[in-house]
Amino acid sequence: MRNIWTIAKREYDHYFISPIAYVVAFMILLTIGIIFAINIYFFMQNAFQSFGQTPDMSSLTGAFAFLLVLSVPALTMRLISDEARMGTLELLLTAPLRDFELVAGKWLGAFLFILTILAVTLVYPIILNSLVDPGIDQQLMMSSYLGVILVAAAFLALGVGISALFTNQVAAFFVTLSAFVFLWWLIGFPASVLQGSASEVLQYLDMKTHFYNALNVGNIKLADLVYFVSLIALGLFIGTTAVETRRWR
């Protein structure tokens, strides 16, 4: 556990000197800010017509989750591939550190960075809460945030796993992006065309339904939580196996 934390801390610190991390943080926060401003404007315009409809955070968290599809590959691409390229992987693999601890530490560092960005967006529910009487639905908000956190954790784990397969970070970026696009969008098309159990399996694998149709509308179900935790475990497993395989090459 201590080793995981040591690796995570270095990775977290590294994001604050990395231009890509700043670009990602800027892109996410700017987009979320614009959406928030538009939302506020929209609700104020319709305040008298929209009977009983109070503004909530789900459009912001929904946008955040969507932005993760594009930004997580940029954050995870170099995590392990760059260590391999620079030769520092040899350092880590000869340190008294389990391969899993290395992969989990990398994942945790990136996860904490995303959580930091997410924490900045907490100003919006606070603002919204002060604007709306009697306040926003806090349970819905917490469910939405939990959803974003789980999507981020799952994407990051897959990203770290894919990064461990490559020595070139650009290759890692595109493979990670393709995997996310597949999980987030493409998998939905065959799921809607096919019938029977094949369709059910594909539907279960479709990540956006676990988020948009469940957590982001305040519906916390065990099946969705299991889905995300399984993806995290899968990503970390791929990463650990890939690092182990490097030893045999």
Q: Give the dihedral sign, CA 136/140/141/142.
A: positive
Minimum CB separation of residue 3 from another protein in Å reads: 6
Rounded Cα gap, residues 110 and 132, in angstroms: 34
Cis peptide before 19 (omega within 30 of 0): no
| Of 87-95, 152-160, 190-198, 225-233: span binding another protein (CB under 8 A) | 87-95
Minimum CB separation of residue 95 from another protein in Å reads: 5
Position among 29, 35, 70, 93 found at the interface with another protein (CB under 8 A): 93
Q: Is 110 exposed, middle or buried (0-12, 13-18, 19+ CB in 10 A)?
A: buried
Rounded Cα gap, residues 182 and 194, in angstroms: 17
Is residue 19 a contact residue for another protein (CB under 8 A)? no
| Of 42-50, 91-99, 151-159, 233-241: span binding another protein (CB under 8 A) | 91-99
Nearest Cα to 154, choosing from 207, 78, 99, 220? 207
| Of 2-10, 59-67, 146-154, 176-184: span binding another protein (CB under 8 A) | 2-10
Minimum CB separation of residue 18 from another protein in Å reads: 8
State the DSSP code for 182: I
Name the 3-class secondary structure at 53: coil
Backbone angles phi, psi at 110, to 5 degrees: -65, -40
Is residue 6 a contact residue for another protein (CB under 8 A)? yes
Instruction: Determine if residue 188 is left, alpha or beta; phi over 0 gives left, psi from -120 to 50 gives alpha, anything else beta.
Output: alpha
Residue type present at position 16 = F
Is residue 200 a contact residue for another protein (CB under 8 A)? no
Is residue 222 a contact residue for another protein (CB under 8 A)? no
Minimum CB separation of residue 98 from another protein in Å reads: 7
Position among 30, 47, 90, 192 found at the interface with another protein (CB under 8 A): 90
Is residue 248 a contact residue for another protein (CB under 8 A)? yes
Is residue 23 a contact residue for another protein (CB under 8 A)? no
Is residue 112 a contact residue for another protein (CB under 8 A)? no
Q: Contact, 132 vs 39, CB < 8 A?
A: no
Is residue 88 a contact residue for another protein (CB under 8 A)? yes
Nearest Cα to 111, choosing from 64, 72, 144? 72
Minimum CB separation of residue 244 from another protein in Å reads: 10
Is residue 122 a contact residue for another protein (CB under 8 A)? no
Backbone angles phi, psi at 134, to 5 degrees: -95, 30
Minimum CB separation of residue 91 from another protein in Å reads: 4
Minimum CB separation of residue 238 from another protein in Å reads: 20
Per-residue tokens: 237: 């497993």
Binding site for another protein (CB under 8 A): 2-3, 6-7, 10, 14, 17, 86-98, 247-249
